[in-house]
Amino acid sequence: MGCTPSIPNIVIVYELVDNSLFNMLHMKRTVEIPLPVRVRIALDCARVYLYMHNLGIVHRDIKSHNVLVDNNFNVKVCDFGLAKFIADLNTGTMQFAGTPCYMAPELFAKRQYNEKVDVFAFGTLLWEIIERKVPHDGFEAGEIRAKVDSGE
C-alpha cells in the first residue's frame, strides 16, 4: 500500500489480512471452502511463484502459513525472509532452509538445489489445499525426511 525506502529505516505498509491459508484450511474446519474456491487459491499461488521464479527469486519457505487470504479469497504471499536469488543458491549460511513438511529431498540430503525446491513445496501445498489435511501431521523432521527419501 505504501513504502518509505529511506535507508536504514525501510518501511513497507501492507493491508491487514488476518487469515492465513493454514487457518482457513485447518483451524476453521467447520467453514466450507468450495473446491472451485480452493482451486482458485491454488492457481493464484502458482501465478505468484511463477512470477517470482521469472524474476529469479526462490521463496524457499512455501507453506500454507505463508499464504494470506483476504475476505474475498484473494491471495497474498508473505514471509520472504528465506528468499534468495537463484544465482545465490547454494552459497552462504542457511543455504538449506525451509519447513520440513514441505522440504524437497535435495534439501534434506543437503545437496545442491535450484528453484525446483519451490515446485516440490508447492506440490505439497496443492495437496494440502485439495485434501484439507496437514502434510506429514504428527511426524518429526527425521521421520518426514525418511518418508520423503523413500518416496512416500
Residue 10 lies in a domain: no
Residue 1 lies in a domain: no
Tell me which residue has cell 545465490. 88
Distance CA 3, CA 106 (A): 37
Residue 59 lies in a domain: yes
Residue 128 near residue 25, CB atoms below 8 Å: yes
CATH of the domain at 27: 1.10.510.10
62-111 pLDDT, tens digit each? 999 999 999 899 999 998 888 888 888 876 545 567 889 999 988 888 88
pTM of the predicted protein model: 0.85
Question: Does the annotation count 70 as an active-site position?
Answer: no
Strands (E), 1-150: 2-6, 9-13, 57-58, 67-69, 75-77, 84-85
Find the mean pLDDT for residues 34-47. 96
Q: Could you list the residue range(s) of the whole structural domain that residue 89 is in?
A: 18-149
For residue 91, the model assigns a pLDDT of 62
Residue 2 lies in a domain: no
Residue 44 lies in a domain: yes
Residue 11 lies in a domain: no
Q: Which of 18, 61, 79, 118 is catalytic?
A: 61
For residue 93, the model assigns a pLDDT of 47
Question: How many domains, in total, are found in the chain?
Answer: 1
Residue 35 lies in a domain: yes
Handedness of CA 34, 35, 38, 43 (dihedral sign): negative
Q: Single out the residue of 68, 50, 117, 65 nearest to residue 89, CA to CA.
A: 117
Residue 39 lies in a domain: yes
More confident residue, 47 or 108: 47
For the record, the C-alpha cell of 45 comes out as 499461488
Mean pLDDT of the chain: 88
